[in-house]
Amino acid sequence: MEIIVGIAAGTTSAFAVIDFNGKVLAVKSKKNWGTDQLVSDFSSICTPLVIACDTSHSNAHGRKLKACFGAKLFTQHSSLHVFQKQQIAGNLGVEVHNSHERDALAAAKKA
């Protein structure tokens, strides 16, 4: 299955998994999530072709995930603003539990 994983890194990190048709397969967040655990949690769902960040620069999680899977790394031309993330995620009709999940979902969809 060809999929995109959007990530939002920070003290609380999140990932969103979508297929190339835009169908949301998973959204999850966790506090103090190390890269190894993040990889383990979403690799049980899929192997990504694209890792997407919600910012115009890649973060450590993004670079490590790119290397782990040999995926392409997608960064935004310019960082997405909150209202853009809300609109993108809202149009998908998926429940998100926090801003981190929303950001990861918007990154994946925007890729």
> In 57-98, which ranges are continuous DSSP H helix?
60-69, 82-92
- pLDDT one-digit tens code per residue, 51-60: 999 888 777 7
- Round to whole Å and give the CA distance between 72 and 66: 6
Phi, psi at 2, each rounded to 5°: -90, 120
- pLDDT one-digit tens code per residue, 77-89: 888 889 999 999 9
| Geometric angle at alpha carbon 12, from 101 and 95, rounded to 5° | 20
pLDDT > 70 in the chain, percent: 100
**pLDDT score of 79:** 84
Phi, psi at 43, each rounded to 5°: -75, -15
- Round to whole Å and give the CA distance between 108 and 31: 20
Give the pairing type, strands 50-53 and 3-8: parallel
3-state secondary structure of 54: coil
Looking at the whole model, is its pTM more than 0.85?
yes
